[in-house]
Chains A and B, each alone.
Chain A
Amino acid sequence: MDLNTITEVVRPLSRAQLPVWTAGDAWLAGGTWLFSEPQVHLTRLIDLAELNWPGLTIGDTHLSIAATCTVAQLDALACPPDWMAAPLINQCCRAFLASFKIWKTATVGGNICMSLPAGPMISLTSALDGVCTIWPARGGERTIPVVDFVTGDHANVLAPGDLLRQIDIPIAALKRRSAFRQISLTPVGRSAALLIGSVANNGTFTLTITASTVRPVQLSFPALPPADQLSDTILRRIADGLYHADVHGRPLWRKHMTLRLAEEIRDELQAHP
């Protein structure tokens, strides 16, 4: 929709050209959320497109995803065959409430910075041990795991003017065996629970719970636990108040779906070692 209070768009070409952050500013990445709601408190958009960050860079140890990398770019990534976790990328893209048309514009960083419980890029990058690089408004750089970046429903660690630069995924995480489960109140609707499990070479089992909880919850076990240990751990680690409540699912149901999907993941990873 038209954002009628916007009076200026600045299009910096480098970090040095980023303007001093002022009240009324907003970063513009894909804009798919920004332009989807009234933003009457905003007067200036700072367009990140001209920074021309390379969307995806495969290094020796990490896959670097620019915050401005579009969902479609990530989905189209030709992954090496030993990235056994690669199917998670498409599974998480498909978990978007929005269609493939939006994926062309929406960005990975934008989804993470929205910090919805049901942010599939949060699910993906936190499950893959992603680490965010932030450009703080005051200068410099800092890093924080994605799983800690999101602190609640629509809440994260960014201060005004901070900018998410990129997310680095360890290649090792992409080589883990994984299992994906998602449930929604409707066939292709917003995730009410999205769980990803993975088993590392050393047998470590990591379960990442998103969408059902207000922020990502990651559970780690030295090996695949028995069913009761898994459910006990979930019950112990996730207080009832941590389950998200909104029109996309009631907390009691989300809790039971979390337990159910976790067991399905455990079962799948156990069945196909």
Chain B
Amino acid sequence: MTFEINGKTFSNPPRPGQCLRTFLRELGHPGVKKGCDAGDCGACTVLLDGEPVHSCLIPAFRADGHAVTTIEGFGGIGGTHPLQRAFLDAQGFQCGFCTAGMILTCASLNQAQRQDLAAALKGNICRCTGYRSIQDALEGTTNIEDAAAGPAFGRSLPAPAGPLIVRGAAPYTFDTAIDGLLHIKLLRSPHAHARIVAIDKTDALKVAGVHAVLTHEDAPDCLFSTARHERDWMDPDDTRVLDTIVRFVGQKVAAVVAESEAAAEDACRRLKVDYEILPAVFDPIAAITDGAPPIHGDKTTMHRVANAARNIVAETHGEFGDVARGLAEAAVTYEGTFTTQRVQHAALETHGGLAWLDASGVLNVRSSTQVPFLTRRALAGIFKLPPDKVRVFCERVGGGFGGKQEMLVEDILALAALRTGRPVKLEFTREEQFIATSTRHPMRVTVKAGADSDGRLTALQLDVLSNTGAYGNHAGPVLFHSVSECISVYNCPNKKVDAVACYTNTLPAGAFRGYGLPQTLIAVEAAIDELARQLGISPLDMRRRNVVRPGDPMLSPPGSEYHDVKYGSYGLDQCLDLVEHAMAADASHPPLSTDWLIGDGIALTMIDTVPPAGHIADCGIKLCDDGRFELTVGTAEFGNGTSTVHRQIAATALATSVDHILLRQSDTAHGGHDTGAYGSAGIFVAGSATQAAAENLARDLKALACQMIGSDPSVCVLEADHAVCGRQRLPYTELARSARAGGQTLQASGTSGGTPRSVAFNVQGFRVAVNKGTGALKILKSVQAADAGRVANPMQCRGQVEGGVAQSLGAALYEELVIDDDGRVINPKFRDYHVPSFADVPRTEVYFADTSDSVGPMGAKSMSESPYNPVAAALGNAIADATGIRFTDVPFKPDRLFPALLKKFG
């Protein structure tokens, strides 16, 4: 057989059942990505004789005698195709994992298809952008500014990895070749709750190429949480690398390490496991009812499980004032119970990684993670290794959304590498991603609220039951966050919270963009609207009468022990005004039949700019001999755009351009500490550290320049890669030379502890049409105003908002991981778990409040989670306005809306 790939001829024969995707990767084309391996996402798109195909579905042997073009060959050797240029100019990507497939698909569209992108792009999932910037690329719109001129901060500069991303050359987790690599496959539990009595490895070990079968007998006897936080006490110690009890269908039971994935899979099938089935409970209410089987009966408060006998991992209760009296004295009241479903991050790059021991005995782990430093700490603890004998790092990560603030593969990778002494790889399949990683916490939220006749809130009460699944990773922190900013944003003398997170024998929930707030906001923001409606006050005015303003305490019972949240800036009033104006500005919409009911809805959100209890970032920067700077940050890049902003901050502080800032990132080997890229901290915390480091270095540069010139340091300024003292200008290269001559390196560091914290705001507005005969929903208008402080990069920030709206629309309208009566996920595929495609996402108008934060770096605030938060709530309010029916369960799918519409409208 002969294959022509990017003009080169290969004669390697593929394996009989091999698909083209893995064949191309094995032949050195890592730009061909795996998002689903099932033909649903389009990340593996290549051109076969010039026609786009999903290479994961093409039997490799069928490419025999044909020409294949991958992204690596698309622009010609070393060249850039005009469409690749267009994706750069529009920045039509964030994490970039879908980009190769997106570009190759777009390149093949004819004019008719370009006019109908909804249909043409239904086979390409982008989880990050919300598709607007991809459309811009196709339309030739340039969104980037020229990098050369002026201070970098505040300008729409492109992501530094862009040129690599559009060529398929940006290295992601698995895009590397390691000699002698062994592959890991996991045997997973078919039972929701069972004790492992025995595992017979005999037949598995006979499979050719198998090096090891690892079971609970091989795992360290150590309990931990897969959740990664700066403070380990935030999560319960309830997890083992491999346990003797399995608590959900899909939990890992054993790991096979073999020379090929095929051998490892074969051996997994040959493992004989004797299970003692234990009673299981799937429903959260049943789980906390007397007589329910305890899922972690062997844990206690010593493991930070609040009440193991009742399956309660964490709870919080508190009251400020007297809610009963507040409700009794209210002119109007509302009570409703809202439920949110199980949704998943669906980052296109699945979890996984590689691990190996290097010549100096250091365990290296390269993984798809948001938290390399905290993972290093966990691995050192579990395997009793000195921290300097463990290195964890990530290359570019293909999307996170909170799902990678979790140690789900690194423990097995470490165990396998330590046990075999060989380099090992574990790459989850999409199905594994769905059945065995983590989801958002499904919640049941009851809200009670009252207001006086002037529309002032008199009572606000939340009762929350959160289902954390089989393990308590993030159970407590998500629960506590879910009942905080959603009510602390409102002034109300009487507030009460009762919140419980419970175990069930289901796939664990974990960190997810918004961290609990999206689930409770649906209830709180519905209550505000329902009170307003009863009083005849507009939803906007109702909020204006009740939201906190600078000086107001931000209160949620029982109250936090951390009192470091301040109004570093305040733009909520502006956000409300911006949305009001935008919603009123253009009321036109396409003609609709009388079946369509039209309504408007808004919702707001406040978010603390940093998680509580400390979030640490160390950054370092040094001047290189060539006058450029090497900036080292710990925070990870997964499409959040922090790499761009860190360079902008450093370039601005050092009066240079971003292309003179070389970035090294997310590697524990670089030293220092970084809590991680979560809690929207990548700019607010790590950016502050970068700013401090750069400003420290700027001070040193000036001091050296003055010393060289003999002038007064107070008159020295940095300007266009020069230190300028009076009329004398010293280029940075000269400073570097002088320092080197003196035996010095010009370098500085900066640290941020993540305190004090500020608050950021978002307001979302929707105009919807609901078809009373079908339940179908059209979004006629989508507007979001964001208070991001001084916006570091307007183009990127807009992208974060649009991407947040798109992802949240998925959760509000479509996405739902369904678990059957046996605890099994029944829809672990993208074709059955619908994440928004181009057709599903309306364009969102994005506006920024004009504020500057006194805490955040150069006035900036966090803006990565919060755009997601108010979307479902605003949509629920718009649907209620349109139909007069308050729907309380997401997702708002046509078949869910239909029964009530039928009842009301016939």
- B816 beta carbon closer than 8 Å to chain A: yes
Nearest 4 CB-CB pairings of A with B: A6-B17, A99-B123, A3-B17, A4-B262
Pairwise interchain contact A104-B51, C-beta atoms closer than 8 A: yes
Count chain B residues whose beta carbon lies closer than 8 angstroms to a beta carbon of A. 65
Given contacts A2-B18, A45-B59, contact A105 B53 (CB under 8 A): yes
User: For residue A49, which residues in chain B have a CB less than 8 angstroms away from its CB?
Assistant: 62
Pairwise interchain contact B57-A31, C-beta atoms closer than 8 A: yes
Q: Which among A142-150, A157-165, A166-174, A253-261 touches the partner chain?
A: A253-261
Pairwise interchain contact B840-A187, C-beta atoms closer than 8 A: yes
Q: When each residue 686-707 of chain B gets 1 if its CB lies under 8 Å from chain A and 0 otherwise, what string results?
A: 0000000000000000000000
Which A residues from 191 to 207 make CB contacts under 8 A with B? 192
Compute how far the CA of A119 lies from the CA of B59 in the bound complex, rounded to whole angstroms.
23
User: For residue A97, which residues in chain B have a CB less than 8 angstroms away from its CB?
Assistant: 122, 831
- B22 beta carbon closer than 8 Å to chain A: yes
- Who on chain B is nearest to A100 by CB? B120
- A22 beta carbon closer than 8 Å to chain B: no
Q: When each residue 98-141 of chain A gets 1 if its CB lies under 8 Å from chain B and 0 otherwise, what string results?
A: 11111011000000000000000000000000000000000000
Pairwise interchain contact A192-B53, C-beta atoms closer than 8 A: no
Pairwise interchain contact B39-A250, C-beta atoms closer than 8 A: no
Q: Which residues of B contact A (CB under 8 A)?
A: 15-19, 21-22, 37-40, 42, 45, 51-54, 56-59, 61-62, 105, 113, 118-124, 260-262, 265-266, 269, 429, 431, 773-776, 813-814, 816, 818, 826-827, 829, 831-834, 837, 839-840, 893-896, 898-899, 902
Extra inter-chain contacts (13) besides given A1-B56, A97-B122, A192-B895, CB under 8 Å: A2-B19, A3-B19, A4-B15, A6-B15, A8-B16, A9-B59, A30-B57, A35-B58, A36-B39, A36-B57, A40-B265, A185-B893, A253-B775
User: For residue A38, which residues in chain B have a CB less than 8 angstroms away from its CB?
Assistant: 431
- Who on chain A is nearest to B595 by CB? A260
Cβ contact of A101, chosen from B52, B59, B833, cutoff 8 A: B52
Q: Chain A: interface secondary structure?
A: loop
Min CB–CB distance A56 → chain B (angstroms): 19
User: For residue A186, which residues in chain B have a CB less than 8 angstroms away from its CB?
Assistant: 813-814, 834, 839-840
Given contacts A249-B895, A253-B895, contact A2 B122 (CB under 8 A): no
User: For residue A247, which residues in chain B have a CB less than 8 angstroms away from its CB?
Assistant: 816, 818, 826-827, 832-833
- A183 beta carbon closer than 8 Å to chain B: yes
User: For residue A256, which residues in chain B have a CB less than 8 angstroms away from its CB?
Assistant: 898, 902
Compute how far the CA of A252 lies from the CA of B902 in the bound complex, rounded to whole angstroms.
11
User: For residue A260, which residues in chain B have a CB less than 8 angstroms away from its CB?
Assistant: 773-774
User: For residue A101, which residues in chain B have a CB less than 8 angstroms away from its CB?
Assistant: 42, 45, 52-54, 105, 123
User: For residue A192, which residues in chain B have a CB less than 8 angstroms away from its CB?
Assistant: 895
- A189 beta carbon closer than 8 Å to chain B: yes
User: For residue B829, which residues in chain A have a CB less than 8 angstroms away from its CB?
Assistant: 37
- A190 beta carbon closer than 8 Å to chain B: yes
Which A residues from 27 to 46 make CB contacts under 8 A with B? 28, 30-32, 35-38, 40, 42, 45
Min CB–CB distance B603 → chain A (angstroms): 23
Min CB–CB distance A70 → chain B (angstroms): 11
Compute how far the CA of A186 lies from the CA of B40 in the bound complex, rounded to whole angstroms.
15
Min CB–CB distance A189 → chain B (angstroms): 6
User: For residue A257, which residues in chain B have a CB less than 8 angstroms away from its CB?
Assistant: 774
Pairwise interchain contact B839-A187, C-beta atoms closer than 8 A: yes
- Who on chain B is nearest to A4 by CB? B262
Pairwise interchain contact B266-A4, C-beta atoms closer than 8 A: yes
Given contacts A187-B840, A247-B816, A247-B827, contact A100 B58 (CB under 8 A): no
Min CB–CB distance B795 → chain A (angstroms): 27
Pairwise interchain contact B774-A6, C-beta atoms closer than 8 A: no
Cβ contact of A99, chosen from B42, B51, B893, cutoff 8 A: B42
Min CB–CB distance B902 → chain A (angstroms): 7
Pairwise interchain contact B895-A250, C-beta atoms closer than 8 A: yes
Compute how far the CA of A187 lies from the CA of B816 in the bound complex, rounded to whole angstroms.
17
Pairwise interchain contact B57-A102, C-beta atoms closer than 8 A: yes
- A5 beta carbon closer than 8 Å to chain B: yes
Min CB–CB distance A95 → chain B (angstroms): 11
Cβ contact of A40, chosen from B119, B269, B833, cutoff 8 A: B269
User: For residue B16, which residues in chain A have a CB less than 8 angstroms away from its CB?
Assistant: 6-9, 45
Q: List 11 A-B contacts (CB under 8 A).
A: A4-B17, A9-B17, A31-B57, A37-B38, A47-B59, A97-B831, A98-B122, A102-B57, A185-B895, A187-B839, A246-B832
- A223 beta carbon closer than 8 Å to chain B: no
Compute how far the CA of A254 lies from the CA of B899 in the bound complex, rounded to whole angstroms.
12
Cβ contact of B899, chosen from A102, A189, A252, cutoff 8 A: A252
Compute how far the CA of A105 lies from the CA of B46 in the bound complex, rounded to whole angstroms.
13
User: For residue B898, which residues in chain A have a CB less than 8 angstroms away from its CB?
Assistant: 252-253, 256
Pairwise interchain contact A35-B56, C-beta atoms closer than 8 A: yes
User: For residue A3, which residues in chain B have a CB less than 8 angstroms away from its CB?
Assistant: 17-19
User: For residue B837, which residues in chain A have a CB less than 8 angstroms away from its CB?
Assistant: 188
Pairwise interchain contact A2-B261, C-beta atoms closer than 8 A: yes
Cβ contact of B774, chosen from A31, A42, A47, A183, cutoff 8 A: A183
- A94 beta carbon closer than 8 Å to chain B: yes
Compute how far the CA of A49 lies from the CA of B65 in the bound complex, rounded to whole angstroms.
15
User: For residue A248, which residues in chain B have a CB less than 8 angstroms away from its CB?
Assistant: 832
Min CB–CB distance A217 → chain B (angstroms): 20
- Who on chain A is nearest to B831 by CB? A97
Min CB–CB distance A50 → chain B (angstroms): 11
Pairwise interchain contact B19-A35, C-beta atoms closer than 8 A: yes
Compute how far the CA of A113 lies from the CA of B869 in the bound complex, rounded to whole angstroms.
44
- Who on chain A is nearest to B109 by CB? A100
- Who on chain B is nearest to A1 by CB? B37
Compute how far the CA of A105 lies from the CA of B54 in the bound complex, rounded to whole angstroms.
9
Pairwise interchain contact A102-B19, C-beta atoms closer than 8 A: no
Pairwise interchain contact B120-A99, C-beta atoms closer than 8 A: yes
Q: When each residue 200-230 of chain A gets 1 if its CB lies under 8 Å from chain B and 0 otherwise, what string results?
A: 0000000000000000000000000000000
Compute how far the CA of A137 lies from the CA of B38 in the bound complex, rounded to whole angstroms.
30
Pairwise interchain contact A99-B38, C-beta atoms closer than 8 A: no
Min CB–CB distance A32 → chain B (angstroms): 5
Given contacts A101-B53, A188-B839, contact A1 B121 (CB under 8 A): no
Pairwise interchain contact B59-A98, C-beta atoms closer than 8 A: no
Pairwise interchain contact B38-A185, C-beta atoms closer than 8 A: no
Q: Which of B57, B260, B775 has the most CB of A within 10 A?
A: B57
Pairwise interchain contact B39-A98, C-beta atoms closer than 8 A: yes
Min CB–CB distance A161 → chain B (angstroms): 20
User: For residue A189, which residues in chain B have a CB less than 8 angstroms away from its CB?
Assistant: 834
Min CB–CB distance A106 → chain B (angstroms): 9
- Who on chain A is nearest to B108 by CB? A101
Min CB–CB distance B434 → chain A (angstroms): 12
Pairwise interchain contact B22-A9, C-beta atoms closer than 8 A: no
- Who on chain A is nearest to B896 by CB? A250
Min CB–CB distance A194 → chain B (angstroms): 14
- Who on chain B is nearest to A44 by CB? B16
Min CB–CB distance B426 → chain A (angstroms): 16
Min CB–CB distance B155 → chain A (angstroms): 36
User: For residue A8, which residues in chain B have a CB less than 8 angstroms away from its CB?
Assistant: 16
- Who on chain B is nearest to A254 by CB? B895
Compute how far the CA of A1 lies from the CA of B57 in the bound complex, rounded to whole angstroms.
6
- Who on chain A is nearest to B110 by CB? A100
- Who on chain B is nearest to A257 by CB? B774
- Who on chain B is nearest to A252 by CB? B899
Min CB–CB distance B350 → chain A (angstroms): 12
Min CB–CB distance A100 → chain B (angstroms): 7
Pairwise interchain contact A102-B39, C-beta atoms closer than 8 A: yes
Given contacts A36-B38, A94-B119, A189-B834, contact A2 B57 (CB under 8 A): no
Compute how far the CA of A32 lies from the CA of B44 in the bound complex, rounded to whole angstroms.
14
Min CB–CB distance A8 → chain B (angstroms): 6
User: For residue B18, which residues in chain A have a CB less than 8 angstroms away from its CB?
Assistant: 2-3
Min CB–CB distance B897 → chain A (angstroms): 9
Pairwise interchain contact B124-A5, C-beta atoms closer than 8 A: no
Min CB–CB distance A240 → chain B (angstroms): 14
User: For residue B21, which residues in chain A have a CB less than 8 angstroms away from its CB?
Assistant: 1
User: For residue B895, which residues in chain A have a CB less than 8 angstroms away from its CB?
Assistant: 185, 192, 249-250, 252-254
Given contacts A99-B124, A101-B105, A256-B898, contact A188 B266 (CB under 8 A): no
- Who on chain B is nearest to A97 by CB? B831
